[in-house]
Chain A
Amino acid sequence: MSDILKSYPVVALKQVSPVYFRLAFAAPGLARVVKPGQFIHIKVSEGFEPFFRRPFSVYRAHDGIVEIFFEPVGKGSRLLTSKKRGDTLDVLGPLGKPFTPPAAGIKQIVFIGGGIGAAPFMLFSDRIKVHKAEKLLLYGGRSKAHTFSMTDFKKNGVRVLTATDDGSVGVKGRVSELFKEIRLAPATMIYTCGPRPMMAAVQAFAKVHDLRGEASCEEVMACGLGACLGCSIPTVHGYRTVCHDGPVFGLNELVF
């Protein structure tokens, strides 16, 4: 436990869109070992309000700095927006099962992210920069406020296609509208993370085209360690914990 429960100093908090924030903290050990798709469990307050820790996927991890990407929608994430440089962050992690790196024979990698669900794909694209496959990110957000600079993805050789519900940026509609924009390669691997209806659509798309894929799930969590069995979701194998058996599952393992 002493390896994975530590306090780290906050380095920077940046607002990157009207609704999205990035929080960076210095955690050299964590930055080294965290794998794309894993999460960290943050105790956002000193007291009991809110009571649970809050899980965040890791957006970036390099040069001793770990960054999370979040939208302050609940009382936990809202508290994080008051963090300042030098504050400490009580972090448990890295936790959970990461994405499986794409096999060498994969010709096309399609990341499909909804809102903050795109966060783990930044770290993922950092880590597979040398992989020769064509890389795409299909990003879906509610409106322009729910989009952010994709420069870093582009630097990693990822082509970005965007859809917004109101059409203020990119294609109008859900991220599934972007499925028809992509020309599938013979060996495609899909990685998705976002709201459950979006991932259900991705699962259906993958089934029709017989594509392999993985999906990262989100649930309210208590322990984050697989102890309380509180975050279980239905899978084809029965109930499985998001925190410990996941958060990454085979796309066709999930039951929507």
Chain B
Amino acid sequence: MNISVKIGNVVLANPVTVASGTFGHSEEMYQAKEVRCLGAIVPKTVTLHAQQGNPPRRMCEVAAGMINAIGIENPGIDAFIATKLPKLKKIGVPLIVSISAHSAEDFVLMAEKLNVADGVAAVELNLSCPNLQKKVLVAQDAEATAAVIRQVKAVTRYPLIAKLSPNVTSIVDIALAAESSGADALSMVNTFAAMAIDVKKRRSKIGNFTGGLSGPAIRPIAVRMVCETAARVKIPIIGMGGITCTNDALEFLIAGATMVAVGTYNFINPRAPLEILEGIRVYMKENKMTDIRELIGSIQR
């Protein structure tokens, strides 16, 4: 059975990964032999300089999900490369490094730093950051998205994955802009802008006032977005949004995603990615499939 997939020129052993920010920073809690089973891992997004993150409370639970506004707390790319990367590399699983910046110049600077680092399989651009010129997120602006991808693509030696925000009118338009400017793959989707209110205090439950909704609550919307986009782009999609079990992951694969990422549910069941990997194998066997490509995009219309 062949379940290997390709992102750019990199071959990954299987289609199961994790969403950034849901797995990294706790390498020691996982056994290397378990993590090595995954297709790839994506540590928490890093930025050019260290960020201390948002004031508490940084998250709250809601029906079938959570809202978070962590604020990309991270040690900065230099410290990441010096201290985190060597440990992650030692696990022996392909590493997709997620980076974010406020300008194309900073994205380029980070991509150049990663070029001389060791142990990176691919780079993911977290484009859900404010575009300082336009007061919207880069990921909400097709031109800004294209500009960042074009400039990073010009310097990076790694396959480039663009992580898209669902908080747009037409995610297909953004996806097409990303593809035509050189993205090798798409990660979709990031969290949905949301808030929850403590009615006793009449205050937002989130210190940052608003945050991003993730978890099973968003899955049907994410599946629809992946399905619509997969029909229009040729590059692979890493599908994510509320995946908790094999069935959820299969929905994304059938919709057209080449890979699936478990995000928020890692917090509830840290073993979910491994269970899903096994579940995909079982499903393929039951359906007499020998290649994952028979499953990807197999939605009947």
Task: Give the complex CA separation of A219 and B58 in angstroms.
Answer: 11
A-contacting residues of B (Cβ < 8 Å)? 21-26, 29-31, 34, 44, 52-53, 55-66, 68, 70, 73, 215-216, 264, 266-271
Sample (9) of A-B pairs whose CB atoms are under 8 Å apart: A2-B34, A5-B269, A43-B269, A49-B63, A222-B66, A228-B22, A230-B70, A239-B53, A239-B56
Closest to A222 in B: B267
Chain A neighbourhood of B34, CB < 8 A: 1-2
Flag the segment in A9-17, A50-58, A145-153 that touches B.
Answer: A50-58
Q: Mark A234-247, 1 if CB is under 8 A from B, else 0.
A: 10001100001000
The reply to whether B58 and A51 form a contact with Cβ atoms under 8 Å apart is no
Query: For A208, what are the chain B residues with a Cβ–Cβ distance below 8 Å?
Result: none
Q: How far is the CA of A48 from the CA of B215 in the complex (A)?
A: 10
- Residue on A with the closest CB to B274? A1
A227-B25, A227-B26 as given contacts; A52 in contact with B61, CB under 8 Å: yes
Binding site for B on A (CB under 8 A): 1-5, 43, 48-53, 92, 219-220, 222-234, 238-239, 244
Please name the residue on chain A nearest to B217 by beta carbon.
Answer: A48
In the bound complex, residues from chain A placing their C-beta under 8 Å from that of B23 are 227
- The residues of B that contact A49 with a CB separation of less than 8 Å are 63-64
A223 to B59 Cα, complex, angstroms: 11
Contact yes or no, A225 B29, CB < 8 A: yes
**A52 pairs with B268, CB closer than 8 A:** yes
> In the complex the two chains form, is B56's CB within 8 Å of A234's CB?
yes
Partner of B73, one of A92, A222, A232, A244: A232
Contact of B24 among A227, A231, A239 (CB under 8 A): A227
Is A228 touching B21 in the complex (CB atoms < 8 A)?
A: yes
In contact, A232 and B62 (Cβ under 8 angstroms): no
With known contacts A48-B64, A226-B26, A227-B266, A232–B53 Cβ distance under 8 A: yes
Contact residues in B for A233 (Cβ distance below 8 Å): 56
Interfacial chain A residues near B22, Cβ < 8 Å: 223, 227-228
- A223 CA to B268 CA in the complex, in Å? 6
A30 to B300 Cα, complex, angstroms? 48
Measured between alpha carbons, how far is A5 from B270 in the docked complex, in Å? 8
> Residues of A contacting B68 with CB < 8 Å?
222, 228, 230
Task: Flag if A232 contacts B56 (CB, 8 Å).
Answer: yes
CA distance A1 to B31 in the complex (A): 6
B25 / chain A contacts, CB cutoff of 8 Å:
226-227, 229
Q: How far is the CA of A149 from the CA of B48 in the complex (A)?
A: 55
| A229:B70 contact, CB within 8 angstroms | yes
> Given contacts A48-B65, A226-B25, could you give 12 more A-B pairs where the C-beta distance is less than 8 Å?
A1-B271, A48-B215, A49-B64, A51-B268, A52-B268, A222-B61, A223-B266, A225-B26, A227-B266, A230-B59, A230-B70, A239-B53
Chain A residues with CB under 8 A of B53: 229, 232, 239
The CB with the most chain A CB atoms within 10 A, among B23, B61, B68, B70, is that of B61
B26 touches A223 (CB 8 A): yes
> When the two chains form their complex, are residues B59 and A228 in contact, meaning their CB atoms are under 8 A apart?
yes
Residues of A within 8 A of B64 (CB): 48-49, 51
Residues of B within 8 A of A2 (CB): 31, 34, 271
Report whether B70 and A227 are in contact in the complex, using a CB–CB cutoff of 8 Å: no
B residues less than 8 Å from A219 (CB atoms)? 56
Q: How far is the CB of B159 from chain A (nearest CB, A)?
A: 25
> Chain B contacts of A223 at CB under 8 A?
22, 26, 266-267, 270
- Measured in the bound complex, the distance between the Cα atoms of B269 and A225 in whole Å is 11
Take A227-B266, A229-B58 as given contacts and tell me if A51 and B26 are in contact as well, using a CB distance cutoff of 8 Å.
no
Question: What residues of chain B lie closer than 8 Å to A51, measured between beta carbons?
Answer: 61-66, 215, 268
Neighbour of A220 across the interface among B57, B269, B271, CB < 8 A: B57
Which residue among B21, B44, B59, B70 has the maximum number of chain A CB atoms within 10 Å of its CB?
B59
Query: A224 vs B58: C-alpha distance in the bound complex, in angstroms?
Result: 14
B236 to chain A, nearest CB (A): 26
List chain A residues, Cβ under 8 A from B61.
Answer: 50-52, 220, 222
Give the CA-CA distance A53 to B268 in the complex, in Å.
6
Contact A1 B270 (CB under 8 A): yes
Q: How many whole Å from A52's CB to the nearest CB in chain B?
A: 5
Rounded to whole angstroms, the CA-CA distance of A149 and B23 in the bound complex is 42
In the complex, chain A residues whose CB is within 8 Å of the CB of B31: 1-3
Bound Cα distance A52, B268 (Å): 6
Q: How far is it, in angstroms, between the C-alpha of A223 and the C-alpha of B26 when the chains are bound?
A: 10
Question: Which chain B residues lie closer than 8 Å to A222 at the CB level?
Answer: 59, 61, 66, 68, 264, 267
B9 to chain A, nearest CB (A): 30
Q: Of all chain B residues, which has the CB nearest A75?
A: B61
- Return chain A residues, CB-CB under 8 Å to B44: 227, 229
Question: In the complex, how many angstroms separate the beta carbon of A140 from the nearest chain B beta carbon?
Answer: 24
Cβ of A243 to closest chain B Cβ, rounded Å? 9
CB distance from A22 to the nearest CB of B (A): 25
Q: How far is the CA of A5 from the CA of B266 in the complex (A)?
A: 12
Select from chain B the residue with minimum beta-carbon distance to A219.
B56
A224 neighbours in B (Cβ, 8 Å): 267
Assembly CA distance A77 to B171 (angstroms): 40
In the complex, what residue of chain B is closest to A238 when comparing beta carbons? Answer: B52
